[in-house]
Structure 1
Amino acid sequence: MAISQGGAHILIFPYPSQGHMIPLLDLTHQLALRNLTITILVTPKNLHYLNPLLIKHPSIQPLVLPFPPTTLIPHGVENVRDLPPSGFIPMTVALSDLYDPILNWFRNHPSPPLAIVSDMFLGWTNRLATELKISRYVFSPSAVLALSVSCNVWRHMPKRNDPTDENEVITFSDIPNFPSHPWWNLTPMFRSYAQGGPHSEVIRASSQGNLASCGFIFNSFTELERVYLDYMKKFLGHDRVWAVGPLLPSEEERVGRGGSNEILAGEIKLWLDQFEDATVVYVCFGSQAVLTNKQMEMLALGLEKSGARFLWSCKEPTKGHQVGEYGMIPLGFEDRVSGRGLIVRGWAPQVAILSHPAVGAFLTHCGWNSVLESIAAGVPMLTWPMMADQFYDADLLDELKVGTRVCEGERTVPDSDKLARLVASSVSDENGAPIARAKVLSKAAQESTQKDGTSYRAVDDLVDHLSKPKGL
């Protein structure tokens, strides 16, 4: 492990969404192990996310800055979890108002950071770094494939032949495997800009800031996305591209990942313990997606018809979801599947669940953290991508032959018969090939983060770059 003798000072700036913040904090742990001096910027309501990291590394300093006063989002909200699904753009714009407070902090610090590592939604920090004459590195909690498409979009600015046709297909012919998607699958940030939405110039400038940054850090690993890593180096015109993942919790931290409820975690483990290996389907759509009642009804019907054992982690409606129209489990469903189906409302210990031998398939929205957790556990996936980068994550799983598409789109209502067939086959003997491929990827994921693995060495190399003043 490369140790920075100078203990170079680095500023880490996560985006306040659980799916973005947790992997960057995991990377921060790896950087701290290599003796960097680290300050992490958070707003007051997100400070608690740092607690596990600060316990392990008391030397890490939090920089707590008040959330900018704004009319873009409800008063008191500082985290995407508390916003409606459309909250990413307003949150991104609001956070750009931290520019001057961060600038003032830098200029008054006796030993200010040499570099900024900030989330891909904080591209405006590259302008800040330029003004301070330091380096800024983009952290991507998304797949390399997904960022390849996103960067391509912002450089080439594709347009539709028919500005009203949401289904017009956009093909990225210079990206390996030629990904093609309808317009409505493109990043919401870009579509908002293309439609001249509010704050569109702020969004464009932030995205261009990513392209101009010193380098890209990906929560992925070389053996998983080598072809797309090579593409990004060619696209950017330099090799400052690091795959440092999968960034996952240690064995003892699995149960608490993303929440904590040891009693519930123990009950889930006991329930899973009664079943044979690879016979349970785990169903979860992440920390953001909430299904409509019609989607809930058809999903429940599909699970019931499948005859398969399942564990369904069901997110309950939050602010921004119309009361009575989301997240309702059909009446009588739990009684009808009693014994072979378990429903968990709210948080569930996903990493621990996927690691349990009884789990043989994962019905997922294809959020990148979920995908990596499933790959690391050697569990093939049934895919239902809903928004943003999830469509490209599902494409990657198709390429790797460890994913089977159920349906796609956040408003799509699945066909219960098709869903039942796919769920049943995912834990049957006929699923042997995807399981075997998932196990191979799992082994590669584990080896990548071990000493001398590709991701381990990538972190060492990243530390070397972070430790050098800009221009050296």
Structure 2
Amino acid sequence: MNMPENLQPLVDLIELPLPRVDKLPENAEATMDIPHHLIPYLKLAFDGLQQPFAKFLERCKPHWIIYDFAPYWLPPTTSKLGISCISFCIFSASGMTSFLESFRRTTSGSESSWGKDIPVEHNESNESGVSDVFRVLTTSDAAQVIAARSCMEIEGEALKVCKSMHSKPVIPVGLLPPSLQFSEDRNDENWDTILKWLDKQEEGSVMYVAFGSEVTLSDEEFTEISMGIEMSGFPFFWVLKKQNTSKIDLQDLVVKNSGKGLVWRTWAPQMRILAHKSVGGFLSHSGWSSVIESLQVGCPLVMLPFQNEQFIVARLMEEKRVGVKVERSEHDGKFSRESLANALRSVMLETTYRSESEEMSKIFGDKELHQKYIDEFVEYIEIHRPAVKD
């Protein structure tokens, strides 16, 4: 993503190369670069930045530092230098609350409606030496402020619960919806191809399918999704990335048998596709960013969560009647082609989900509302700017 020109003179980018870690592919720097089972090794490599980053902070001594949940080792350094911390919650507020409740449920044995959807793996130490829940708790507990990508209009209850749990300021910074002002590039052959195909479809008839950059489907899951989409009978646009399946020949089979659909194997302009009049629904993994983008333009959701907070987000959006969660078996947690096809038909054929999503877009797509949240956050950190130790 290119930085806006007006901000470029104000920002200095400092490169801190990741240390080499066994089992981590060369040049892997983000979760989108690797399959899900290697993510703990990426966290281990990130933890190797502890000393280089400490030296950087000693040299520049900022008033504030904003971090996500990963650098659990950072608070001792910031405390020593008198640097105040803001923990930026990359999850939904509901997801953050569930992480906290999940930890409390594990340590106390009590049940909670908030924490029940967090996968057990996040409470367990992984190859990096600590659990994800430990990272979240350590970084949030050490911060003076928690900033959340959320707003009171959507997650008011969760934000209040989160503030009560932490006993510190929890400041929503809005949903940070992406711009809908698309720059025209006459040489963009990819978009031209996509646009021509979408323009040929009937209004509201296409199911857009994308599972983000981190989801790796098993062969069985991939087959059930393929067959479920086919059973539904709707034309589809499927962004099928390399890491989404373990076998490329399965992708080849879908491309060969795509029939009414278009399979896209490279990067696709998701916001442009969702905003197109022919798209009637979004089959998604329920990642928070994808949900925000979809509801920003009033596109209803078919939600097939796989990991992390996706289950919590899916439950929240189903409660708000802007989509349907694909049913999974209570016995083994698997979904079927039939359950997927049923969810697709519900969202595409029942007008309630479209009308509720369009109503919700008045909040998700309210540029002035979310800018107001950002302005209030900036004002807070300016007013509470701490003095840095010499």
TM-score, length basis structure 2:
0.87
Tell me if structure 1 keeps the 8 A contact 2:87–2:139.
Answer: no
Corresponding residue for 2:216? Answer: 290
Distance in 1 separating the partners of 2:227 and 2:123: 36
Corresponding residue for 2:365? Answer: 446
Residues 390, 264 of structure 1: alpha-carbon distance in 2 compared, 3 angstrom cutoff: same
Tell me if structure 1 keeps the 8 A contact 2:31–2:42.
Answer: yes
CA deviation vs aligned residue, 1:56-111 (integer Å, no higher than 9, x gap) = 422211011222344463444322222231233332232233222222223333xx
Residues 414, 254 of structure 1: alpha-carbon distance in 2 compared, 3 angstrom cutoff: farther
Residues 373, 255 of structure 1: alpha-carbon distance in 2 compared, 3 angstrom cutoff: farther
Matched, 1:248 2:177: yes
Tell me if structure 2 keeps the 8 A contact 1:134–1:469.
Answer: no
Equivalent position to 1:362, from 276, 282, 301:
282
Distance in 2 separating the partners of 1:408 and 1:264: 35
Matched, 1:396 2:331: no
Distance in 1 separating the partners of 2:385 and 2:274: 42
Residues 417, 65 of structure 1: alpha-carbon distance in 2 compared, 3 angstrom cutoff: closer
Residues 236, 94 of structure 1: alpha-carbon distance in 2 compared, 3 angstrom cutoff: same
Unaligned runs of 5+ in 1: 1-48, 162-169, 173-177
Distance in 2 separating the partners of 1:179 and 1:130: 31
Matched, 1:88 2:28: no
Q: Is the partner of 2:242 in helix, strand or coil?
A: coil
Distance in 1 separating the partners of 2:165 and 2:380: 20
Matched, 1:181 2:116: yes
Q: Is the partner of 1:139 in helix, strand or coil?
A: strand
Tell me if structure 1 keeps the 8 A contact 2:70–2:135.
Answer: no
Equivalent position to 1:212, from 142, 153, 163:
142
For 1:431-470, what aligned pairs fall within 5 Å after superposition? 431-447=350-366, 449-450=367-368, 453=369, 455-467=370-382, 468-470=384-386
Tell me if structure 1 keeps the 8 A contact 2:284–2:303.
Answer: yes
Corresponding residue for 1:328? Answer: 250
Q: Is the partner of 1:150 in helix, strand or coil?
A: helix
1:366 deviation in Å? 0.7
Give 2:148's aligned amino acid: F
Matched, 1:140 2:59: no
1:187 deviation in Å? 5.9
Corresponding residue for 2:111? Answer: 171
Tell me if structure 2 keeps the 8 A contact 1:255–1:351.
Answer: no
Equivalent position to 2:3, from 50, 53, 69:
53
Corresponding residue for 1:382? Answer: 302
Distance in 1 separating the partners of 2:64 and 2:35: 33
1:303 deviation in Å? 1.6
Number of aligned positions between the proteins? 383
Distance in 2 separating the partners of 1:78 and 1:198: 15
Give 1:242's aligned amino acid: I
Tell me if structure 2 keeps the 8 A contact 1:281–1:360.
Answer: yes
Equivalent position to 1:129, from 70, 78, 82:
78
Tell me if structure 2 keeps the 8 A contact 1:363–1:381.
Answer: yes
Residues 248, 205 of structure 1: alpha-carbon distance in 2 compared, 3 angstrom cutoff: closer
Residues 87, 335 of structure 1: alpha-carbon distance in 2 compared, 3 angstrom cutoff: closer
Distance in 2 separating the partners of 1:62 and 1:415: 46
Distance in 2 separating the partners of 1:277 and 1:357: 5
Residues 300, 202 of structure 1: alpha-carbon distance in 2 compared, 3 angstrom cutoff: closer
Equivalent position to 1:102, from 53, 62, 67:
53
Matched, 1:78 2:34: no
Tell me if structure 1 keeps the 8 A contact 2:285–2:303.
Answer: yes
Distance in 2 separating the partners of 1:458 and 1:412: 38
Distance in 1 separating the partners of 2:132 and 2:116: 25
Distance in 1 separating the partners of 2:231 and 2:199: 24
TM-score, length basis structure 1:
0.73
Unaligned runs of 5+ in 2: none
Equivalent position to 2:292, from 357, 372, 375:
372
Distance in 2 separating the partners of 1:72 and 1:418: 37
Give 1:290's aligned amino acid: T
RMSD of aligned alpha carbons: 3.0
CA deviation vs aligned residue, 1:313-345 (integer Å, no higher than 9, x gap) = 112238xx75x3x671363x555553x311111
Give 2:213's aligned amino acid: S
Q: Is the partner of 2:65 in helix, strand or coil?
A: strand
Distance in 2 separating the partners of 1:374 and 1:283: 12
Tell me if structure 1 keeps the 8 A contact 2:210–2:285.
Answer: yes
Residues 470, 187 of structure 1: alpha-carbon distance in 2 compared, 3 angstrom cutoff: farther
1:295 deviation in Å? 2.2
Q: Is the partner of 1:181 in helix, strand or coil?
A: coil
Q: Is the partner of 2:283 in helix, strand or coil?
A: strand
Corresponding residue for 1:32? Answer: none
Residues 415, 203 of structure 1: alpha-carbon distance in 2 compared, 3 angstrom cutoff: closer
Give 2:279's aligned amino acid: V
Tell me if structure 2 keeps the 8 A contact 1:297–1:329.
Answer: no
Equivalent position to 1:158, from 96, 106, 116:
106
Tell me if structure 1 keeps the 8 A contact 2:88–2:148.
Answer: yes
CA deviation vs aligned residue, 1:368-407 (integer Å, no higher than 9, x gap) = 1111111111111111100111111111112111121114
Distance in 1 separating the partners of 2:111 and 2:201: 45
Corresponding residue for 2:161? Answer: 231
